A and B are shown apart, each in its own frame.
Chain A
Amino acid sequence: MNWIYGKWWKWLSAIMLVYVVIGGFVVPLGPGITKISPSVFKPDTVYTFRITAYHAHFLSPEAGKVQLWFKNHYTYYKPLSVNVVSNSEIEATFALASTQQEKIVPSSFDVVINNNVDGTFALREALTLAKAKAIDSASVFTAETTEPVVENNKHRLFCFPYREILYETIRNTFFHVPMWFVMTMLVFTSFVASTLYLTKPFEKWDVLAHKAVVAALLFGTCGYLTGLVWAKYTWYIGVSWGDVIRKLLLEDIKMAAALVAIFFYVAYMIIREMIENDERRRNIAAVYNIFAFVVFILCVFVLPRLTDSMHPGNGGNPAFSKYDLDSTLRLFFYPAVIAWILFGFWILSILIRLSFIEQKQKV
Protein backbone atom coordinates (compact mmCIF):
# COMPACT_ATOMS: atom_id res chain seq x y z
CA MET A 1 0.00 0.00 0.00
CA ASN A 2 2.76 2.42 -0.88
CA TRP A 3 0.39 4.49 -2.99
CA ILE A 4 -0.83 6.30 0.12
CA TYR A 5 2.56 8.00 0.41
CA GLY A 6 2.66 9.07 -3.25
CA LYS A 7 2.40 12.70 -4.13
CA TRP A 8 1.80 13.14 -7.83
CA TRP A 9 -1.82 12.04 -7.83
CA LYS A 10 -2.60 14.44 -4.96
CA TRP A 11 -1.19 17.27 -7.04
CA LEU A 12 -3.18 16.04 -10.04
CA SER A 13 -6.32 16.10 -7.94
CA ALA A 14 -5.62 19.63 -6.72
CA ILE A 15 -4.85 21.00 -10.19
CA MET A 16 -7.87 19.34 -11.76
CA LEU A 17 -10.20 20.52 -9.00
CA VAL A 18 -9.01 24.10 -9.47
CA TYR A 19 -9.59 23.71 -13.22
CA VAL A 20 -13.08 22.35 -12.62
CA VAL A 21 -14.12 25.02 -10.12
CA ILE A 22 -12.79 27.88 -12.27
CA GLY A 23 -14.09 26.43 -15.53
CA GLY A 24 -17.37 25.44 -13.95
CA PHE A 25 -18.05 29.02 -12.96
CA VAL A 26 -16.42 31.00 -15.78
CA VAL A 27 -17.94 29.23 -18.79
CA PRO A 28 -21.22 31.02 -19.49
CA LEU A 29 -24.61 29.47 -19.88
CA GLY A 30 -25.81 29.12 -23.46
CA PRO A 31 -28.54 31.24 -25.03
CA GLY A 32 -32.11 30.76 -23.89
CA ILE A 33 -35.42 32.58 -23.79
CA THR A 34 -36.31 33.84 -20.33
CA LYS A 35 -39.47 35.85 -20.90
CA ILE A 36 -42.15 36.68 -23.42
CA SER A 37 -44.83 39.29 -22.94
CA PRO A 38 -47.72 39.13 -23.38
CA SER A 39 -47.93 35.40 -22.91
CA VAL A 40 -51.64 34.98 -23.68
CA PHE A 41 -53.16 36.13 -26.95
CA LYS A 42 -56.47 36.12 -28.79
CA PRO A 43 -57.21 35.45 -32.44
CA ASP A 44 -57.92 38.18 -34.99
CA THR A 45 -55.68 40.71 -33.26
CA VAL A 46 -52.16 41.74 -34.19
CA TYR A 47 -49.87 41.37 -31.21
CA THR A 48 -46.34 42.63 -30.68
CA PHE A 49 -44.56 40.12 -28.49
CA ARG A 50 -41.47 41.21 -26.65
CA ILE A 51 -39.09 38.30 -26.21
CA THR A 52 -36.24 38.53 -23.71
CA ALA A 53 -33.36 36.14 -24.17
CA TYR A 54 -30.39 35.31 -21.98
CA HIS A 55 -26.81 35.33 -23.29
CA ALA A 56 -28.00 35.74 -26.88
CA HIS A 57 -26.07 37.60 -29.62
CA PHE A 58 -28.78 38.97 -31.88
CA LEU A 59 -26.86 42.12 -32.84
CA SER A 60 -23.51 40.40 -33.35
CA PRO A 61 -22.25 40.86 -36.95
CA GLU A 62 -21.75 37.11 -37.27
CA ALA A 63 -25.30 36.38 -36.17
CA GLY A 64 -26.74 36.89 -39.63
CA LYS A 65 -30.47 36.97 -40.02
CA VAL A 66 -32.34 36.27 -36.80
CA GLN A 67 -35.20 33.89 -37.52
CA LEU A 68 -38.17 33.33 -35.27
CA TRP A 69 -41.12 30.94 -35.37
CA PHE A 70 -44.12 30.14 -33.28
CA LYS A 71 -44.46 26.41 -33.11
CA ASN A 72 -47.70 24.59 -32.34
CA HIS A 73 -47.51 20.81 -32.17
CA TYR A 74 -45.49 20.07 -35.33
CA THR A 75 -46.46 23.17 -37.29
CA TYR A 76 -44.25 26.25 -37.54
CA TYR A 77 -45.95 29.65 -37.97
CA LYS A 78 -44.17 32.66 -39.41
CA PRO A 79 -44.42 35.97 -37.56
CA LEU A 80 -45.54 39.03 -39.51
CA SER A 81 -42.32 40.82 -38.69
CA VAL A 82 -39.24 40.37 -36.52
CA ASN A 83 -37.47 43.38 -35.04
CA VAL A 84 -34.22 42.94 -33.16
CA VAL A 85 -34.18 45.52 -30.35
CA SER A 86 -30.94 44.63 -28.64
CA ASN A 87 -28.58 41.71 -28.18
CA SER A 88 -31.06 40.07 -25.89
CA GLU A 89 -34.43 41.43 -27.00
CA ILE A 90 -36.62 40.80 -30.00
CA GLU A 91 -40.02 42.19 -30.91
CA ALA A 92 -42.13 39.95 -33.09
CA THR A 93 -45.58 40.71 -34.45
CA PHE A 94 -47.95 37.85 -34.94
CA ALA A 95 -51.62 37.34 -35.61
CA LEU A 96 -53.79 34.31 -35.96
CA ALA A 97 -57.14 34.20 -37.73
CA SER A 98 -60.10 32.89 -35.80
CA THR A 99 -60.72 30.46 -38.65
CA GLN A 100 -57.39 28.80 -37.88
CA GLN A 101 -58.25 28.16 -34.25
CA GLU A 102 -59.53 24.63 -34.70
CA LYS A 103 -56.12 23.44 -35.90
CA ILE A 104 -54.40 24.78 -32.79
CA VAL A 105 -54.32 21.76 -30.50
CA PRO A 106 -53.01 22.04 -27.82
CA SER A 107 -53.45 25.77 -27.42
CA SER A 108 -49.84 26.50 -26.48
CA PHE A 109 -47.06 27.74 -28.75
CA ASP A 110 -43.32 27.26 -28.45
CA VAL A 111 -41.13 30.14 -29.49
CA VAL A 112 -38.14 29.05 -31.60
CA ILE A 113 -35.29 31.44 -32.42
CA ASN A 114 -32.33 30.80 -34.70
CA ASN A 115 -29.21 32.69 -35.75
CA ASN A 116 -25.72 31.82 -36.84
CA VAL A 117 -24.03 32.50 -33.50
CA ASP A 118 -26.48 31.13 -30.97
CA GLY A 119 -27.87 28.30 -33.05
CA THR A 120 -31.44 27.26 -32.41
CA PHE A 121 -33.02 27.74 -29.03
CA ALA A 122 -36.59 27.70 -27.85
CA LEU A 123 -38.97 28.25 -24.99
CA ARG A 124 -41.55 25.52 -24.69
CA GLU A 125 -45.18 26.49 -24.10
CA ALA A 126 -44.25 30.16 -24.16
CA LEU A 127 -47.54 31.42 -25.58
CA THR A 128 -51.11 30.40 -24.96
CA LEU A 129 -53.93 31.05 -27.38
CA ALA A 130 -57.12 32.13 -25.64
CA LYS A 131 -59.66 30.77 -28.08
CA ALA A 132 -62.47 33.19 -28.84
CA LYS A 133 -65.35 33.57 -31.25
CA ALA A 134 -64.59 35.37 -34.49
CA ILE A 135 -64.92 39.14 -34.25
CA ASP A 136 -66.20 39.36 -37.83
CA SER A 137 -66.27 36.91 -40.70
CA ALA A 138 -63.31 38.38 -42.60
CA SER A 139 -60.23 38.06 -40.45
CA VAL A 140 -57.43 40.60 -40.69
CA PHE A 141 -54.45 38.29 -40.85
CA THR A 142 -53.92 34.63 -41.42
CA ALA A 143 -50.83 33.15 -39.85
CA GLU A 144 -48.70 31.48 -42.50
CA THR A 145 -47.20 28.11 -41.83
CA THR A 146 -43.66 27.43 -42.96
CA GLU A 147 -40.90 24.86 -42.96
CA PRO A 148 -38.08 26.00 -40.71
CA VAL A 149 -34.92 26.20 -42.79
CA VAL A 150 -31.97 27.09 -40.62
CA GLU A 151 -28.28 27.76 -40.93
CA ASN A 152 -27.12 27.54 -37.40
CA ASN A 153 -24.09 27.34 -35.16
CA LYS A 154 -21.66 28.59 -37.79
CA HIS A 155 -19.80 30.24 -34.96
CA ARG A 156 -20.32 27.74 -32.22
CA LEU A 157 -20.31 29.23 -28.74
CA PHE A 158 -18.36 27.76 -25.86
CA CYS A 159 -21.08 27.44 -23.25
CA PHE A 160 -23.05 25.09 -21.06
CA PRO A 161 -26.51 24.18 -22.29
CA TYR A 162 -29.38 26.36 -21.14
CA ARG A 163 -32.06 24.12 -19.72
CA GLU A 164 -35.40 25.22 -18.38
CA ILE A 165 -35.82 24.64 -14.63
CA LEU A 166 -32.12 23.82 -14.25
CA TYR A 167 -30.62 27.08 -15.56
CA GLU A 168 -27.29 27.81 -13.83
CA THR A 169 -27.66 24.84 -11.51
CA ILE A 170 -26.45 22.69 -14.40
CA ARG A 171 -23.01 23.50 -12.95
CA ASN A 172 -23.86 21.27 -10.00
CA THR A 173 -23.09 18.37 -12.33
CA PHE A 174 -19.44 18.93 -11.42
CA PHE A 175 -20.06 18.87 -7.68
CA HIS A 176 -23.08 16.77 -6.80
CA VAL A 177 -22.68 13.91 -9.27
CA PRO A 178 -18.95 13.15 -8.64
CA MET A 179 -19.71 12.79 -4.90
CA TRP A 180 -21.53 9.55 -5.72
CA PHE A 181 -18.76 8.44 -8.05
CA VAL A 182 -16.27 8.91 -5.21
CA MET A 183 -18.50 7.05 -2.79
CA THR A 184 -18.87 4.19 -5.26
CA MET A 185 -15.12 3.97 -5.83
CA LEU A 186 -14.36 4.06 -2.08
CA VAL A 187 -16.99 1.47 -1.31
CA PHE A 188 -15.60 -0.72 -4.08
CA THR A 189 -12.09 -0.34 -2.61
CA SER A 190 -13.50 -1.33 0.75
CA PHE A 191 -15.16 -4.38 -0.80
CA VAL A 192 -11.92 -5.48 -2.46
CA ALA A 193 -9.99 -4.95 0.79
CA SER A 194 -12.50 -7.03 2.73
CA THR A 195 -12.27 -9.83 0.18
CA LEU A 196 -8.47 -9.71 0.44
CA TYR A 197 -8.73 -9.80 4.22
CA LEU A 198 -10.86 -12.93 4.09
CA THR A 199 -8.34 -14.67 1.83
CA LYS A 200 -5.26 -13.45 3.71
CA PRO A 201 -5.98 -11.89 7.10
CA PHE A 202 -3.45 -9.05 7.05
CA GLU A 203 -4.37 -6.22 9.36
CA LYS A 204 -3.72 -3.59 6.68
CA TRP A 205 -6.62 -4.90 4.57
CA ASP A 206 -8.94 -4.46 7.50
CA VAL A 207 -7.71 -0.91 8.05
CA LEU A 208 -8.15 -0.11 4.36
CA ALA A 209 -11.69 -1.53 4.31
CA HIS A 210 -12.67 0.36 7.47
CA LYS A 211 -11.19 3.73 6.46
CA ALA A 212 -12.59 3.51 2.93
CA VAL A 213 -16.07 3.23 4.42
CA VAL A 214 -15.42 6.27 6.66
CA ALA A 215 -14.36 8.33 3.63
CA ALA A 216 -17.25 6.93 1.57
CA LEU A 217 -19.72 8.03 4.23
CA LEU A 218 -18.27 11.56 4.14
CA PHE A 219 -18.83 11.77 0.39
CA GLY A 220 -22.20 10.06 0.64
CA THR A 221 -23.33 12.70 3.13
CA CYS A 222 -22.05 15.46 0.83
CA GLY A 223 -23.84 13.90 -2.14
CA TYR A 224 -27.07 13.53 -0.23
CA LEU A 225 -27.16 17.05 1.21
CA THR A 226 -26.19 18.70 -2.08
CA GLY A 227 -28.83 16.64 -3.86
CA LEU A 228 -31.42 17.78 -1.34
CA VAL A 229 -30.70 21.46 -2.00
CA TRP A 230 -30.52 20.99 -5.76
CA ALA A 231 -33.83 19.12 -5.81
CA LYS A 232 -35.59 21.75 -3.68
CA TYR A 233 -34.90 24.51 -6.18
CA THR A 234 -35.46 22.54 -9.38
CA TRP A 235 -37.91 19.67 -9.07
CA TYR A 236 -39.79 20.99 -6.08
CA ILE A 237 -40.06 24.75 -6.49
CA GLY A 238 -42.23 26.27 -3.79
CA VAL A 239 -42.47 23.10 -1.73
CA SER A 240 -41.52 23.33 1.95
CA TRP A 241 -38.42 21.50 3.23
CA GLY A 242 -40.45 18.88 5.07
CA ASP A 243 -42.49 18.09 1.99
CA VAL A 244 -39.36 18.00 -0.18
CA ILE A 245 -37.83 15.29 2.01
CA ARG A 246 -41.09 13.36 2.17
CA LYS A 247 -41.58 13.57 -1.61
CA LEU A 248 -38.00 12.60 -2.36
CA LEU A 249 -38.12 9.55 -0.15
CA LEU A 250 -41.54 8.43 -1.34
CA GLU A 251 -41.51 9.49 -4.97
CA ASP A 252 -37.91 9.30 -6.06
CA ILE A 253 -36.67 5.77 -5.71
CA LYS A 254 -33.04 6.77 -6.21
CA MET A 255 -33.08 8.99 -3.12
CA ALA A 256 -34.78 6.36 -0.99
CA ALA A 257 -32.45 3.61 -2.19
CA ALA A 258 -29.34 5.75 -1.69
CA LEU A 259 -30.41 6.42 1.90
CA VAL A 260 -30.82 2.68 2.48
CA ALA A 261 -27.32 2.12 1.05
CA ILE A 262 -25.85 4.79 3.34
CA PHE A 263 -27.57 3.26 6.36
CA PHE A 264 -26.06 -0.12 5.53
CA TYR A 265 -22.62 1.43 5.83
CA VAL A 266 -23.56 3.29 9.01
CA ALA A 267 -24.52 -0.13 10.34
CA TYR A 268 -21.05 -1.38 9.32
CA MET A 269 -19.49 1.32 11.50
CA ILE A 270 -21.77 0.41 14.41
CA ILE A 271 -20.97 -3.29 14.08
CA ARG A 272 -17.26 -2.49 14.26
CA GLU A 273 -17.80 -0.46 17.41
CA MET A 274 -19.83 -3.17 19.06
CA ILE A 275 -17.45 -6.13 18.84
CA GLU A 276 -14.65 -6.02 21.41
CA ASN A 277 -12.54 -8.95 20.24
CA ASP A 278 -10.15 -7.76 17.52
CA GLU A 279 -10.05 -10.85 15.34
CA ARG A 280 -13.78 -11.46 15.62
CA ARG A 281 -14.52 -7.83 14.74
CA ARG A 282 -12.34 -7.93 11.66
CA ASN A 283 -13.84 -11.17 10.36
CA ILE A 284 -17.45 -10.17 10.94
CA ALA A 285 -16.84 -6.69 9.53
CA ALA A 286 -15.26 -8.14 6.38
CA VAL A 287 -18.13 -10.53 5.77
CA TYR A 288 -20.72 -7.86 6.47
CA ASN A 289 -18.87 -5.43 4.18
CA ILE A 290 -19.17 -7.76 1.20
CA PHE A 291 -22.87 -8.08 1.90
CA ALA A 292 -23.22 -4.28 2.24
CA PHE A 293 -21.48 -3.76 -1.11
CA VAL A 294 -24.00 -6.02 -2.83
CA VAL A 295 -26.82 -4.02 -1.24
CA PHE A 296 -25.11 -0.78 -2.32
CA ILE A 297 -24.91 -1.91 -5.96
CA LEU A 298 -28.53 -3.04 -5.88
CA CYS A 299 -29.72 0.20 -4.31
CA VAL A 300 -27.71 2.66 -6.35
CA PHE A 301 -27.40 0.97 -9.74
CA VAL A 302 -30.17 -1.60 -10.10
CA LEU A 303 -33.27 -0.41 -8.25
CA PRO A 304 -33.41 3.11 -9.75
CA ARG A 305 -33.29 1.64 -13.26
CA LEU A 306 -36.36 -0.49 -12.65
CA THR A 307 -38.86 2.29 -12.14
CA ASP A 308 -39.09 5.93 -13.05
CA SER A 309 -37.12 8.46 -11.11
CA MET A 310 -36.75 12.22 -11.32
CA HIS A 311 -33.04 11.68 -11.88
CA PRO A 312 -31.95 11.82 -15.52
CA GLY A 313 -31.00 8.55 -17.11
CA ASN A 314 -33.15 6.37 -14.89
CA GLY A 315 -36.22 4.34 -15.64
CA GLY A 316 -34.43 2.09 -18.12
CA ASN A 317 -32.13 4.54 -19.86
CA PRO A 318 -28.37 4.60 -19.54
CA ALA A 319 -27.12 7.67 -17.73
CA PHE A 320 -24.65 9.37 -20.03
CA SER A 321 -26.71 9.77 -23.14
CA LYS A 322 -26.23 12.74 -25.42
CA TYR A 323 -29.33 14.32 -23.88
CA ASP A 324 -27.90 14.41 -20.38
CA LEU A 325 -24.41 15.70 -21.10
CA ASP A 326 -23.22 17.82 -23.98
CA SER A 327 -19.65 18.09 -25.18
CA THR A 328 -18.87 21.25 -23.17
CA LEU A 329 -20.17 19.68 -19.96
CA ARG A 330 -18.07 16.59 -20.62
CA LEU A 331 -14.98 18.77 -20.87
CA PHE A 332 -15.41 19.58 -17.19
CA PHE A 333 -17.43 16.63 -15.95
CA TYR A 334 -14.85 13.92 -16.61
CA PRO A 335 -11.97 15.90 -15.00
CA ALA A 336 -14.32 16.65 -12.09
CA VAL A 337 -15.01 12.96 -11.58
CA ILE A 338 -11.31 12.06 -11.72
CA ALA A 339 -10.32 14.98 -9.47
CA TRP A 340 -12.93 14.19 -6.83
CA ILE A 341 -12.09 10.48 -6.87
CA LEU A 342 -8.39 11.27 -6.35
CA PHE A 343 -9.38 13.70 -3.60
CA GLY A 344 -11.44 10.97 -1.94
CA PHE A 345 -8.44 8.64 -1.99
CA TRP A 346 -6.29 11.42 -0.59
CA ILE A 347 -8.59 11.65 2.40
CA LEU A 348 -8.55 7.85 2.63
CA SER A 349 -4.73 7.85 2.65
CA ILE A 350 -4.64 10.37 5.51
CA LEU A 351 -7.07 8.26 7.53
CA ILE A 352 -5.01 5.12 6.92
CA ARG A 353 -1.74 6.81 7.93
CA LEU A 354 -3.36 8.13 11.10
CA SER A 355 -4.57 4.70 12.08
CA PHE A 356 -1.14 3.17 11.33
CA ILE A 357 0.42 5.65 13.79
CA GLU A 358 -2.28 4.86 16.34
CA GLN A 359 -1.50 1.16 16.06
CA LYS A 360 2.22 1.75 16.45
CA GLN A 361 1.60 3.72 19.63
CA LYS A 362 -0.56 0.93 21.05
CA VAL A 363 2.25 -1.58 20.59
Chain B
Amino acid sequence: MRTLLTIFFSMLFAVVSFAQGETGSENIFKSNLKIYVVAAVLTIILACLFAFMFAIERRLKKLEEK
Protein backbone atom coordinates (compact mmCIF):
# COMPACT_ATOMS: atom_id res chain seq x y z
CA MET B 1 0.00 0.00 0.00
CA ARG B 2 2.74 2.41 1.00
CA THR B 3 4.72 1.64 -2.15
CA LEU B 4 1.61 2.23 -4.24
CA LEU B 5 1.04 5.59 -2.58
CA THR B 6 4.69 6.56 -3.13
CA ILE B 7 4.40 5.66 -6.80
CA PHE B 8 1.17 7.62 -7.07
CA PHE B 9 2.60 10.75 -5.47
CA SER B 10 5.80 10.61 -7.49
CA MET B 11 3.58 10.46 -10.57
CA LEU B 12 1.79 13.55 -9.30
CA PHE B 13 5.15 15.32 -9.00
CA ALA B 14 5.86 14.46 -12.62
CA VAL B 15 2.55 16.00 -13.64
CA VAL B 16 3.19 19.12 -11.55
CA SER B 17 6.71 19.61 -12.88
CA PHE B 18 5.39 19.13 -16.42
CA ALA B 19 2.77 21.74 -15.73
CA GLN B 20 5.39 24.23 -14.56
CA GLY B 21 7.51 23.82 -17.66
CA GLU B 22 7.88 26.15 -20.60
CA THR B 23 4.29 25.83 -21.69
CA GLY B 24 2.59 26.02 -18.31
CA SER B 25 -0.58 24.19 -17.40
CA GLU B 26 -2.72 27.11 -18.55
CA ASN B 27 -1.53 26.75 -22.12
CA ILE B 28 -1.88 22.97 -22.23
CA PHE B 29 -5.52 23.19 -21.26
CA LYS B 30 -6.18 25.96 -23.76
CA SER B 31 -4.41 24.22 -26.65
CA ASN B 32 -6.11 21.98 -29.21
CA LEU B 33 -9.48 23.61 -28.61
CA LYS B 34 -9.38 22.65 -24.91
CA ILE B 35 -9.54 18.89 -25.45
CA TYR B 36 -7.32 18.38 -22.38
CA VAL B 37 -10.05 19.83 -20.18
CA VAL B 38 -12.13 16.79 -21.13
CA ALA B 39 -9.17 14.57 -20.25
CA ALA B 40 -8.87 16.33 -16.89
CA VAL B 41 -12.57 15.85 -16.20
CA LEU B 42 -12.33 12.14 -16.98
CA THR B 43 -9.23 11.86 -14.78
CA ILE B 44 -11.08 13.45 -11.88
CA ILE B 45 -13.99 11.04 -12.23
CA LEU B 46 -11.62 8.07 -12.43
CA ALA B 47 -9.61 9.29 -9.44
CA CYS B 48 -12.78 9.64 -7.36
CA LEU B 49 -13.96 6.18 -8.37
CA PHE B 50 -10.57 4.63 -7.57
CA ALA B 51 -10.43 6.33 -4.19
CA PHE B 52 -13.88 4.90 -3.55
CA MET B 53 -12.77 1.42 -4.63
CA PHE B 54 -9.89 1.54 -2.17
CA ALA B 55 -12.29 2.55 0.61
CA ILE B 56 -14.57 -0.40 -0.22
CA GLU B 57 -11.61 -2.74 -0.28
CA ARG B 58 -10.55 -1.59 3.17
CA ARG B 59 -13.98 -2.55 4.51
CA LEU B 60 -13.82 -5.90 2.73
CA LYS B 61 -10.45 -6.59 4.27
CA LYS B 62 -11.85 -5.97 7.73
CA LEU B 63 -14.61 -8.50 7.00
CA GLU B 64 -12.08 -11.03 5.74
CA GLU B 65 -9.96 -10.68 8.86
CA LYS B 66 -12.93 -11.53 11.07
Contact = CB atoms under 8 A, between A and B. Distances in A.
B41 A229 contact: yes
A261 interface: no
Interface string B20-51: 00000010011011110110111011001100
Nearest to A360: B63
Contact of A225 (B34, B48, B63): B48
A274 interface: no
Contact of B66 (A218, A222, A230, A361): A361
B16 to A, nearest CB: 14
B29 to A, nearest CB: 5
For chain A, what secondary structure do more than half of its interface residues adopt (helix, strand, loop), or is it mixed?
helix
B52 interface: yes
Contact of A222 (B35, B37, B38, B48): B48
A233 B63 contact: no
B56 A168 contact: no
B45 A167 contact: no
Given A221-B48, A358-B63, A168 B41 contact: no
Contacts of B29: 233
A47 interface: no
For chain B, what secondary structure do more than half of its interface residues adopt (helix, strand, loop), or is it mixed?
helix
Contact of B52 (A176, A226, A347, A361): A347
B2 interface: no
Contact of B63 (A169, A234, A351, A354): A354
B45 A175 contact: yes
B48 A168 contact: no
A166 B41 CA distance: 14
Nearest to B29: A233
A351 B53 CA distance: 11
B38 A169 contact: yes
Range of interface residues on B (Cβ < 8 Å) = 20 to 34
B38 A175 contact: yes
A230 B41 contact: yes
B60 interface: yes
A179 interface: yes
Q: Which has the most chain A C-beta neighbours within 10 Å: B41, B45, B66?
A: B41
A168 B32 contact: yes
A341 interface: no
Nearest to B62: A358
Contacts of A54: 33
B63 A222 contact: no
Contacts of A225: 44, 48
B44 A354 contact: no
Given A168-B35, A218-B52, A226 B63 contact: no
B42 A168 contact: no
Contacts of B42: 21, 175
Interface string A317-341: 0000000000000000000000000
Interface of A: 21, 25, 29, 34, 54, 166-169, 171-172, 175-176, 179, 218, 221-222, 225-226, 229-230, 233-234, 237-238, 347, 350-351, 354, 357-358, 361
